[in-house]
């Protein structure tokens, strides 16, 4: 069945507008709790399942947490609360505590007045499509509270932050430390504010924390991985060795060298893969997305590391990793999955993998990625009517074919309808910026003419 509420990363929207309202989230908690109990393979879990709830630092998290808690308890599900915690921490704790599911209240890198609900399976991965479809179907049915004796109970896990800090540290080699390293860590005023600084400090680094004073309204506000200039400035001012920027829920990562040079997800993924290859730990290949820079694919090829592209979204990256039996993948936005360390993308764990490579090689990110020069990319969003099918227009196909002939093997063209707005994304990349831009503009003109768009 088609999904009405679930997107590629759970249910998300503006707080106070459907579906991010207390009444809907209560029903969502009830529906999810009922379905998760029915789909459990363990009779004991079906009888009395348990779920963990985490949230980021948005002020709306209090309201949505209470609504979810009520819905789950009404379905006879026990609830464990941990307060503000990174999304990957909820994935880890769900698995470590042998729970039926984990729930994270977050809108990731979005502004504070957005929020969302995402679910993790007992294995610490995103819920399968069929389970999300079953939850949506249950949402259409009346809410029938369990008898009082069967209602769920609620308790708080007091040591959740300590458990997750130790988990993150365990992804860093025992024989290494970060002594003598000066780091600026930007927590985006989000869920890592009390987690990330201790992780790097306890491994020996001198940590200057910024974006670590959340007030419910300032998450991702001019800080974090989506506002990297704040980190660049702090790194230069503090004369730090490296800078680490996380997003509001801790699953994205951007980093800076000591001179303020920014390294995105493609470059960080290259560092991790290259180091795994050098240490003999690279088994299989790397998964990127349709938006991954072509230069990364070429650079990995020179290391004899296979590469494949998934649809945009860390969910699809993970699906392809599982399908191929590979371990490393990610997006240029900073979602990086190291499946040998965690079941989901984790900004802190990914940063530690990068620092491992740099520490062992006594080098900087610039030096370690000298073989990787990202190709220029031009992205133009062309307004279209909803449902516009670019593949049906020969004029667009001709413009794409002409561009591909000009770019040859050193570039590529991607046309992708937006999943959230009525635009067609025209992306062209190649080794020469002037050629890339000219190709993108010619294709965009062809799309506008075919779509009947002026200007």
- Segments making up each domain of the chain, as ranges: 11-158, 164-368, 377-451
pLDDT confidence of residue 400: 96
pLDDT confidence of residue 409: 83
pLDDT confidence of residue 40: 59
Give the E-state strand segments of 195-241 in sequence order.
Answer: 206-210
Candidate from 43-47, 141-145, 276-280, 415-419 with smallest mean pLDDT: 43-47
d(C-alpha 144, C-alpha 275), whole Å: 54
pLDDT confidence of residue 46: 60
70 is catalytic: no
How much is the average pLDDT of 299-318?
Answer: 94
> Which has the closest alpha carbon to 70: 35, 10, 23?
23
pLDDT confidence of residue 175: 96
Q: How many percent of the chain have pLDDT more than 70?
A: 96
d(C-alpha 323, C-alpha 409), whole Å: 28
Q: Please, which residues have CB within 8 angstroms of residue 325's CB and are 6 or more apart in sequence?
A: 284
Is the Cβ–Cβ distance between 22 and 63 less than 8 Å?
yes
Given pLDDT bands bounded at 50, 70 and 90, which one contains residue 283?
A: confident
Residue 206 burial (C-beta neighbours within 10 Å; 0-12, 13-18, 19+): middle
Is the Cβ–Cβ distance between 33 and 72 less than 8 Å?
yes
pLDDT confidence of residue 1: 46
Return the CATH class of domain 164-368: alpha beta
Is the Cβ–Cβ distance between 312 and 290 less than 8 Å?
yes
Q: Do domains 11-158 and 164-368 have the same CATH topology?
A: yes
Location of structure tokens 């459907």:
18
Q: Which of 60, 70, 108, 333 is catalytic?
A: 108
Given pLDDT bands bounded at 50, 70 and 90, which one contains residue 38?
A: confident
Kindly tell me if the per-residue pLDDT of 455 is higher than 80: no
Kindly tell me if the per-residue pLDDT of 426 is higher than 50: yes
d(C-alpha 49, C-alpha 44), whole Å: 8
d(C-alpha 183, C-alpha 242), whole Å: 5
Q: How many helices (H) and strands (E) does the chain have?
A: 15, 18
pLDDT confidence of residue 41: 57
Cα distances from 6 to residues 51, 126, 129, 318, 446, in angstroms, run: 19, 12, 9, 18, 34
CATH numeric code, 377-451: 3.30.310.50
CATH numeric code, 11-158: 3.40.120.10
Candidate from 108-112, 153-157, 414-418, 437-441 with smallest mean pLDDT: 414-418
Instruction: State whether the Cα torsion 348-350-356-357 is positive or negative.
Output: negative
pLDDT digits (tens, 9 = 90+) for 73-106: 999 999 999 999 999 999 999 999 999 999 999 9
Given pLDDT bands bounded at 50, 70 and 90, which one contains residue 313?
A: confident
pLDDT digits (tens, 9 = 90+) for 348-388: 999 999 999 999 999 999 999 999 999 999 999 999 988 89
How much is the average pLDDT of 119-148?
Answer: 91
Q: What are phi and psi of 149, to 5 degrees?
A: -70, -15
pLDDT confidence of residue 421: 77
Which residues does residue 396 pair with via DSSP β-bridges, in sequence order?
Answer: none
Residue 280 burial (C-beta neighbours within 10 Å; 0-12, 13-18, 19+): exposed
Q: Please, which residues have CB within 8 angstroms of residue 305's CB and are 6 or more apart in sequence?
A: 273, 277, 282, 285, 286
Q: What are phi and psi of 191, to 5 degrees?
A: -70, -15
Give the E-state strand segments of 220-356 in sequence order.
Answer: 242-246, 253-257, 262-263, 286-289, 307-310, 328-330, 336-338
Cα 186 vs. chain centroid, distance in angstroms? 17
d(C-alpha 214, C-alpha 187), whole Å: 9
Given pLDDT bands bounded at 50, 70 and 90, which one contains residue 126?
A: confident
Kindly tell me if the per-residue pLDDT of 36 is higher than 90: no
């Amino acid at each position: 069945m088609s999904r009405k509420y679930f997107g590629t990363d759970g249910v998300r929207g503006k707080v106070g507008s459907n579906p991010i309202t207390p009444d809907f989230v209560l029903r969502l908690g009830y529906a999810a709790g009922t379905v998760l109990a029915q789909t459990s393979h363990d009779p004991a879990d079906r009888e009395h399942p348990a779920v963990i709830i985490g949230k980021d630092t948005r002020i709306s998290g209090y309201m949505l947490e209470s609504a979810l808690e009520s819905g789950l308890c009404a379905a006879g599900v026990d609830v464990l609360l941990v307060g503000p915690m990174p999304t990957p921490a909820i994935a880890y704790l769900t698995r470590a505590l042998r729970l039926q599911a984990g729930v994270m209240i977050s809108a990731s890198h979005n502004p504070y007045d957005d929020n969302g609900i995402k679910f993790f399976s007992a294995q610490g991965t995103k819920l399968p499509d069929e389970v999300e479809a079953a939850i949506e179907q249950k949402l259409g049915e009346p809410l029938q509270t369990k008898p009082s004796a069967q209602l769920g109970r609620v308790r708080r896990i007091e040591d959740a932050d300590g458990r997750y800090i130790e988990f993150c540290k365990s992804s860093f080699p025992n024989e290494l430390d970060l002594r003598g390293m000066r780091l600026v860590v930007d927590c985006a005023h989000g869920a890592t504010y009390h987690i990330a600084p201790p992780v790097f400090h306890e491994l020996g680094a001198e940590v200057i924390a910024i974006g670590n004073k959340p007030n419910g309204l300032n998450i991702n506000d001019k800080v974090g991985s989506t506002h990297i200039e704040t980190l660049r400035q702090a790194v230069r001012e503090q004369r730090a060795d490296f800078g680490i920027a996380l997003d509001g829920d801790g699953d994205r990562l951007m980093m800076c060298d000591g001179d303020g040079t920014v390294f995105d997800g493609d470059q960080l993924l290259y560092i991790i893969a290259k180091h795994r290859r050098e240490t003999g730990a690279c088994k299989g290949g790397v998964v990127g997305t349709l938006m991954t820079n072509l230069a990364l694919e070429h650079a990995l090829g020179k290391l004899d590391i296979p590469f494949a592209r998934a649809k945009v979204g860390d969910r699809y990256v993970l699906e392809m990793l599982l399908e191929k039996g590979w371990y490393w993948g990610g997006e240029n936005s900073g979602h990086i999955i190291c499946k040998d360390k965690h079941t989901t993308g984790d900004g802190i764990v990914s940063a530690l993998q990068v620092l491992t490579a740099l520490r062992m090689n006594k080098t900087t990110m610039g030096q370690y990625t000298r073989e990787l020069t990202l190709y220029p990319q031009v992205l133009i969003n062309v307004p279209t009517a909803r449902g516009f099918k670019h593949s049906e227009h020969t004029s667009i196909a001709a413009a794409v074919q002409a561009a591909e002939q000009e770019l040859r093997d050193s570039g590529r063209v991607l046309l992708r309808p937006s999943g959230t707005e009525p635009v067609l994304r025209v992306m062209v990349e190649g080794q020469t910026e002037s050629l890339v831009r000219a190709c993108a503009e010619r294709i965009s003109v062809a799309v506008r003419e075919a779509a009947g768009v002026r200007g």
